[in-house]
Structure 1
Amino acid sequence: MLNLEARKRSIWLIIVLCFALVWPITKSTYLLFHPSHGVEVSNLRFGLNVIFEVLGLILLGVSLKIQKRSFKEFGLTFKFSDLGHALLLYFSFYILEIILFLFVPDLKSEPHNVEFYKSNITLFYFIFIIVNPFFEELIVRAYGITEFLHFFKKEEIAVLVSTLIQTSYHLYQGAIPAILNGLLFFIFSIYFAKKRRIIPIILVHGFFDIYAMIQLHGT
């Protein structure tokens, strides 16, 4: 039986993850079978997404405060070494992707339903690009892995569950792009489980979002 503190911790985990993940996973699954066919995302949609993600981060912050914990637990403090770690994470994925394509060239596939990156760059678009890496990496990666480790006591389970959850709400891009995303998320999860530093992961995630935005605007 869980003691009172453990029950409180598990309840908050369920509340935060349900708020943050039920809608993205539902939407991603729907788009996997019902592509958006290039419909642009409106500025209002970006605004709503920003509000949703900020509320998710606030909810996480409130849950930690009630439990007398803080974001510092996830390594949310900047160190200059984080820049080097971010570069190592990026090149690790880049090298693994090259090796994977050499052995399985059929895995090269353009992601679907990413037309929102082609939308006009507005204030809400810009804010979304900034907020999204914090939302995903703090909630699914840092918080998720920390709590899964606490309850399951196995690093492998924590890494796998976090990777599968994050991959599930990227299925809207198609099965193969989601697998490649999953490889990146797997590297991120291993890094966090070992180092407990989330800043390098947020930096790399943000870089990939900005790169996708620039690349698709140039097509």
Structure 2
Amino acid sequence: MTRASRWAHLRRRRLWTEIALVLGVSLGASAVYSIVQIVQRLTAETPLSGQTATINGSLSDRPVFDLVYQLLAIGFDLVPVALALYLLAISGGSPFRRLGFDLRRPWSDLGRGWLLVAVIGVPGILLYVVGRQLGFTVTVVPSPLDTYWWTVPVLILAALRAALQEEVIVVGYLFTRLRQLGWGEWRIILASAVLRGSYHLYQGIGPFFGNVVMGVVFGWCYRRWGRVMPLVVAHWIIDIVSFVGYPLALQLFPGLFG
């Protein structure tokens, strides 16, 4: 083996190790837990249609500590995002410019973000409704049952956390590293999409496929636009609607989502 080939082999091994570590402290770990959860759900006596999955649940029965825990959880969940950006910076250049994670094109990013909301958000809601009716999606409880003055702001921050985690790590960071490993574009898009679907498996089979489709669309858009910011905008809006608007819709139309 020549020196050049040894160096290339070492570089590939380091990149795979880095990817494994970044995903291991973030959404890769979530994917493993979700796979275990869906196996547990499918082997339980209660069918999927009779089970629930709580998102953004209360972390304490004392409001002030619930708020503190919620903010701490959001803050620490963003550390892997900072880590991914830091590792990209070490390899050279600004990671913000490399990923298109900046404010250079605000109106274009907003317009494209809203376009993705229309393409992905509305069909996603319909898919959830159909999944509930067919019995392969659990009942998703997207926000705490107890409402305080800070509930909506915290839910908006939680939506931003999810958008940053998923789009910066699963799209921006992962696409960059897999390209450096020589993967083809569609192979990268499909791998990223399957990862996105896998950490949503705790919600049922329907959300897995829905998020895989979302991952394919978002990955294709990132490949075409070269910017992660429209994806962050779209994901943030979709999750705000899910976290804040969904509970309101349940109150106004209790039978709408089955």
Please give the alpha-carbon distance, in whole angstroms, between the structure 2 residues aligned to 1:131 and 1:141: 15
Question: Which of 184, 204, 210 matches 1:180?
Answer: 210
In structure 1, stretches of 5+ residues that fail to align are none
1:3-22 correspondence runs (5 A): 5-22=11-28
Question: Offset at 1:151?
Answer: 1.4
Matching residue of 2:237:
207
The one-letter amino acid paired with 2:80 is: G
Q: Mean Cα displacement is larger for which, 14-23 or 170-179? A: 14-23
State the Cα distance separating 1:127 from its structure 2 match.
Answer: 2.5
What amino acid sits opposite 2:115 in the alignment? L
- 1:118/1:213 contact within 8 Å kept: no
For structure 1, which segment, 152-161 or 36-45, has the greater mean C-alpha deviation from structure 2 after superposition? 36-45
TM-score (norm 1): 0.82
The 1:22–1:106 alpha-carbon spacing in structure 2 relative to 1, beyond 3 Å, is closer
1:68-113 deviation line (CA, Å, top 9, x unaligned): 2422211012212112212322233368x39xx7xxx998123536
Residue pair 1:31, 1:113 contacting (<8 A) in 2 also: no
Does the residue aligned with 1:17 lie in a helix, a strand or coil? helix
Match of 2:88 among 44, 64, 68: 64
Q: Residue type matched to 2:197 in 1?
A: T
Per the alignment, residue 87 of structure 1 pairs with 114
Matched residue count: 213
Q: In the aligned structure 2, how far is the partner of 1:123 from the partner of 1:201?
A: 21
Q: Is the 8 A contact 1:54 1:135 kept in 2?
A: yes
The residue number in structure 2 matching 1:156 is 186
Any stretches of 5+ residues in structure 2 without a counterpart? 42-47, 60-65, 251-258
CA offset at residue 209 of structure 1? 0.5
SS of alignment partner, residue 131 of structure 2: coil
Alpha carbons of 1:139 and 1:113: their partners in 2 closer, same or farther (altered >3 Å)?
A: farther
**Distance in structure 2 (CA, Å) of the matches to 1:122 and 1:179:** 29
What is the deviation of 1:114? 2.9
Change (3 A) 1:124 1:192: same
Partner of 2:223: 193
Q: Which amino acid aligns with 1:72?
A: R
RMSD: 2.9
In 2: Cα distance, 1:191 partner to 1:129 partner:
21
Matched, 1:115 2:121: no
Identity %: 21
- Distance in 2 of aligned mates of 1:106 and 1:71: 34
Distance 1:106 1:74 in 2: 31
1: CA distance, partners of 2:219 / 2:161 = 19
| Structure showing the higher helix proportion among its residues | 1
> Residues 9 and 67 of structure 1 are in contact (CA less than 8 Å); yes or no, is this contact kept in structure 2?
no
SS at the partner of 1:109?
helix
Match of 2:255 in 1: none
